[in-house]
Amino acid sequence: MTGRINIAVIGAGVIGKRHVHEIAHNDACRLAAIADPTPEAAAYADTLNVPYYCDYREALARGDVDAAIVCTPNHTHLEVGLACIGHQLPLLMEKPIADDIDSARKLADAATAVGVALLVGHHRRHNPSVRAVKEAIEGGRIGKLVMANIMCLMYKPDAYFEVPWRRQPGGGPVLINLIHEIDLLRHLCGEIVAVQAVASNGTRGHEVEDSAACTLTLANGALANISLSDTTSAPWSWETTAGEDRALFDYRPVPTHFFAGTDGALTLPDLALWSYRAKKGRDQPIQETRLPMVEENVYAAQLRHFLDVVRGDARPVIDGHDAARTLAATLAVVEAARTARPATPLFVQ
C-alpha cells in the first residue's frame, strides 16, 4: 500500500476523538470519515471538515476507506466489527473486543477466516515502561514471579454517568477498567487460570458495580490481587500515574503496579527495581534502582503499529483471539463475583 492510509473513525465519543487527534498528527494516514449518529458528532465532523455519516455502514461503503477504528459502545462491537470485516477493512477495535465470549469468538474467527487484520485497543501494550518491565521479568531480574498487586482506584466524575450505558451491566469499571489490568497482567506475567472476586455497587448505587476486589491464580503459579473502584478519591490508578492522557487525567507518577519475585521486585509506572545487594533476607538492606524510562505517546505508538498492520508489515500485538482471552478472564471476575465461587476463564482458541 502506498500513499496515506484513509481511516474511518466509527464512534466519535471520548476515545474516538483521541484517535482522531492522533490521525491528524500522523502524516502516514488521513481521516476519511466520521460515523456516529449524534448531532454532536455531526457538528464535530463539521469543525474538522471531514465527511460525516449518521450510519456507519455508509462510511464503510465509500470505497476509499482503507481501515477503520471502532470506538462505539461495547455492545455494538460485534455488529460494527463484522461489517468492517465484511468490507475487508483492517480494524482497530477498541477494548473490550466485545461484551461476551460468543461475540468475541465470532469476531476473532471472522477476521481470521477472511484474513482481515484485527488489532484490539489494549493500548498499554504500546507503553515503553510496560515493555521495560516485561523484558525485566522475562530476563529474570526479579527471579521467579510470586505476587503481583495492582491498584485501579479512581473517582469518575458524576457527568461521566450521564451516558446511560455506563450505569448498566457491561458498562462499569470491570469491563471498562479492570480489563486493562487483566490484559496487562496477562501480557507481563502470563495466563490467568483461576479467579476469585467480590464486587459491590454499594457506593454509587447503579445497576453495575462501582468496586471490586479480585485474587487471580496464574498458570506459572504466581498470585495476583487487583483492587478496583471508580468511586474513590485516590491517585492510585494507571490513568493518573502513567501519564498517558494528561489532557483527560491528572498526572501523579506514584507506583500502582507491584511485581514481587524471589530475587527482587518491580513497580510500574515508575520503573523502580528493588533487590538485595548481597544476602537475601528482611534483616538485610534492600536497595532501589530505576530502569531507564522513555516517555512516549502510547496512542500515537498504537496508531503507528496499526498502520504497520494495515500495510501488512506487522501482525497485531493483540489480535482478536488474544483479546478474547483477556475478555474471558475479565468475565470470569464477573462470574466469580456473581456466584461467590472461584471461576475459571473460558479459554478461547
Ligand X SMILES: NC(=O)c1ccc[n+]([C@@H]2O[C@H](COP(=O)([O-])OP(=O)(O)OC[C@H]3O[C@@H](n4cnc5c(N)ncnc54)[C@H](O)[C@@H]3O)[C@@H](O)[C@H]2O)c1
Helix (H, G, I), strand (E, B) or coil at 52: strand
68, 10 in Cβ contact below 8 A?
yes
Q: Is 269 in the site for ligand X (CB under 6 A)?
A: no
Cα separation, 244 vs 336, whole angstroms: 31
Cα separation, 199 vs 78, whole angstroms: 27
Give min distance, CB of 179 to ligand X, in A: 8
User: Which residue from 19, 87, 95, 186 is in contact with ligand X, where contact means CB under 6 A?
Assistant: 95
Residue 342: CB partners within 8 Å, gap ≥ 6? 194, 195, 196, 336
Helix H or strand E encompassing 149? strand 145-153
Of 72 and 129, the one with the shorter C-beta distance to ligand X is: 72
268, 255 in Cβ contact below 8 A?
yes
Q: Is 72 in the site for ligand X (CB under 6 A)?
A: yes
Of 92 and 273, the one with the shorter C-beta distance to ligand X is: 92
Binding mask 45-64 for ligand X (x = CB under 6 A): -----------x--------
Q: Is 33 in the site for ligand X (CB under 6 A)?
A: no
Nearest one of 13, 327, 247, 231 to 239, comparing CA atoms: 247
> Among the candidate windows 44-52, 67-75, 135-143, 320-328, which touches ligand X by CB under 6 A?
67-75
Of 84 and 142, the one with the shorter C-beta distance to ligand X is: 84
Of 41 and 199, the one with the shorter C-beta distance to ligand X is: 41
Nearest one of 236, 217, 214 to 225, comparing CA atoms: 214
Q: Is 168 in the site for ligand X (CB under 6 A)?
A: no
Give min distance, CB of 95 to ligand X, in A: 6
User: Which residue from 73, 128, 253, 255 is in contact with ligand X, where contact means CB under 6 A?
Assistant: 73
Give min distance, CB of 64 to ligand X, in A: 19
Q: Is 248 in the site for ligand X (CB under 6 A)?
A: no
Give min distance, CB of 77 to ligand X, in A: 7
Binding to ligand X, residues 180-239 (CB under 6 A): none
| Binding residues with ligand X: total (CB under 6 A) | 24
CA distances from 169 to 111, 127, 337 (A): 27, 29, 13
Of 8 and 192, the one with the shorter C-beta distance to ligand X is: 8
Give min distance, CB of 9 to ligand X, in A: 9
Which residue's CB atom is positioned nearest to ligand X? Answer: 13
Other Cβ atoms less than 10 A from the Cβ of 292: the count is 8
Burial class from Cβ neighbours inside 10 Å (0-12, 13-18, 19+) for residue 346 reads middle
User: Which residue from 1, 14, 114, 254 is in contact with ligand X, where contact means CB under 6 A?
Assistant: 14
Q: Is 36 in the site for ligand X (CB under 6 A)?
A: yes
Other Cβ atoms less than 10 A from the Cβ of 104: the count is 28
Of 34 and 307, the one with the shorter C-beta distance to ligand X is: 34
Nearest one of 10, 24, 161 to 73, comparing CA atoms: 10
Cα separation, 277 vs 255, whole angstroms: 22
> Among the candidate windows 14-22, 146-154, 230-238, 340-348, which touches ligand X by CB under 6 A?
14-22
- Cis (ω within 30 of 0) for the bond into 269? yes
The residue ranges that bind ligand X (CB under 6 A) are: 10-16, 35-38, 41, 56, 71-74, 76, 94-95, 121, 123, 163, 176
